[in-house]
Amino acid sequence: MTQIAMKRKKTRPVFLGGVKVGGNAPVVVQSMTSTDTRNVISTVGQIRMLEDAGCEIVRVAVPDREAAGVLADIKKQITIPLIADIHFHYQLALDAIARGVDGIRINPGNIRKDKMVRIARAAKSRGTVIRLGVNSGSLEKDLLKKYGCPTSQALVESALRNLAVVRDAGFDDIKISVKSSDVLTMVEAYRELSEKTDCPLHLGVTEAGSILNAAIKSSVGMGILLYEGIGDTIRVSVTGDPVSEIGVAYGILRALNVRRVGPDIISCPTCGRCEIDLSGLAREVEEKLKGMKSYLKIALMGCVVNGPGEAAEADVGIAGGRGSGLLFKKGKVIRKVREKDFVESLLREIGTMTVGEKEA
């Protein structure tokens, strides 16, 4: 009964290595390492964990020339496109481009226009993509003064005038982000920006906090935008392990049927009607299916009110009663199962479902 997703706004695609962002490409999930970039072993290790979790583009901080110096070394040990995150020093951007990164993110709030032109020319010669990464915490001083604080209009003005700078330099492989730590500001900024440019947009709520708060803010902000067809790549910013960002990102995309990756677990809030340990069941099933990329709708239901209905709509499901439950598959009851056998029975059925449930 999943409804179809909204029509996506058409953008002019860019290519990061083999990954297309924008145009008719799927919304790309990305993240950023939290390691010291100069520590190649730990950085590559974290990138590989991100790759395993489903991350499709990765960004690393480049705070100094030593960090820029290891980018080629990192790149050759990973399989997803590598982005260098640059602030303040244009020379670091030139270094990163020379090291062969797939893209750079520059912050127009802390890099001068004439330096941006030099970066754009270097990027053009190497086929490097540039993201103009505007951020509420580091907006140009004149815009802060003009608007009083980082409003959505200020973020959009920064994006558009810097877009003009790099475009005037003959450069066109551009993505844009206008992140704010305030969800409404971010929503309004992206909506306005998307009317004024056909550049692919990288969505994010910046500094969104620890995992649960980040999930809430990112889901609200990106959810509104994606529902309106806005957004070509997303990053959920979590204070903590970046690997946790990936599950949240796919959860948002799955909720709106923008992409169907991973298990979709439907489980009830276990009210006074519930006579099985549903919380435990949900936790165990989630744990066992961690890392699963195929889309599958799994219903874990505690009673007869909505249990049979939800289980029948799912690919596989349990409608629990007292100490036992009915096992459903593709809308049909397969058999009655004892509570202690729930997990094993579900996993056996899921194991037999491999055709037609891959990512849409």
Taking CB under 8 A as the criterion, which residues in 329-358 touch a copy of itself? Answer: none
Residue 283's SS3 state is: helix
Residue choice 72, 165, 169, 266 for contact with a copy of itself (CB under 8 A): 266
Alpha carbon distance 360, 250 (integer Å): 13
CB atoms within 10 A of CB 176: 26
60 binds a copy of itself (CB under 8 A): yes
Residues 82-101 that bind a copy of itself (CB under 8 A): 85, 87-88
Residue choice 25, 98, 169, 211 for contact with a copy of itself (CB under 8 A): 211
Taking the least distance from each CB to a copy of itself, the nearer of 110 and 169 is 110
Residue pair 249/236 in contact by the 8 Å Cβ criterion: yes
Stretch that binds a copy of itself, among 95-103, 157-165, 270-278, 343-351 (CB under 8 A): 270-278
**Nearest distance in Å: CB 106, a copy of itself:** 12
Taking the least distance from each CB to a copy of itself, the nearer of 169 and 265 is 265
Alpha carbon distance 278, 306 (integer Å): 14
Stretch that binds a copy of itself, among 90-98, 168-176, 304-312, 347-355 (CB under 8 A): 304-312
7 binds a copy of itself (CB under 8 A): no
Nearest residue to 214 via CA among 238, 234, 244: 238
Residue choice 200, 307, 320, 325 for contact with a copy of itself (CB under 8 A): 307
What is the maximum alpha-carbon separation in the chain? 72
Stretch that binds a copy of itself, among 27-35, 124-132, 192-200, 338-346 (CB under 8 A): 27-35
Reading the block at residue 29, the tokens are 């999930």
Residue pair 47/134 in contact by the 8 Å Cβ criterion: no
Q: Which secondary structure element, helix H or strand E, spans residue 168, and what is its range?
A: helix 152-168
Q: ∠ CA(115), CA(116), CA(120), 5° rounding?
A: 120
Stretch that binds a copy of itself, among 17-25, 116-124, 177-185, 343-351 (CB under 8 A): 177-185
Residues 219-248 that bind a copy of itself (CB under 8 A): 219-221, 223-224, 227, 237-240, 242, 245, 247-248
Beta bridge partners of 64: none
Beta bridge partners of 333: 328
Residues 114-173 that bind a copy of itself (CB under 8 A): 135-139, 149-152
Which amino acid type is present at position 310?
Answer: E
Residue choice 77, 91, 279, 324 for contact with a copy of itself (CB under 8 A): 279
Residue 200's SS3 state is: coil
Reading the block at residue 206, the tokens are 């910046």
Alpha carbon distance 328, 311 (integer Å): 6
Residue choice 77, 91, 181, 345 for contact with a copy of itself (CB under 8 A): 181
Residue choice 17, 23, 69, 209 for contact with a copy of itself (CB under 8 A): 209
43 binds a copy of itself (CB under 8 A): yes
What number of CA atoms fall less than 13 Å from residue 240's CA on the CB side?
14
Residue identified by tokens 């580091």 is 138
Residue choice 273, 322, 330, 358 for contact with a copy of itself (CB under 8 A): 273
193 binds a copy of itself (CB under 8 A): no
Alpha carbon distance 300, 45 (integer Å): 35
CB atoms within 10 A of CB 261: 23
Taking the least distance from each CB to a copy of itself, the nearer of 306 and 345 is 306
**Nearest distance in Å: CB 296, a copy of itself:** 14
Taking the least distance from each CB to a copy of itself, the nearer of 17 and 309 is 309
Residue choice 11, 162, 267, 294 for contact with a copy of itself (CB under 8 A): 267
Q: Is 142 exposed, middle or buried (0-12, 13-18, 19+ CB in 10 A)?
A: exposed
Residue choice 32, 80, 96, 316 for contact with a copy of itself (CB under 8 A): 32
How many residues touch a copy of itself under the rule CB under 8 A: the total is: 95
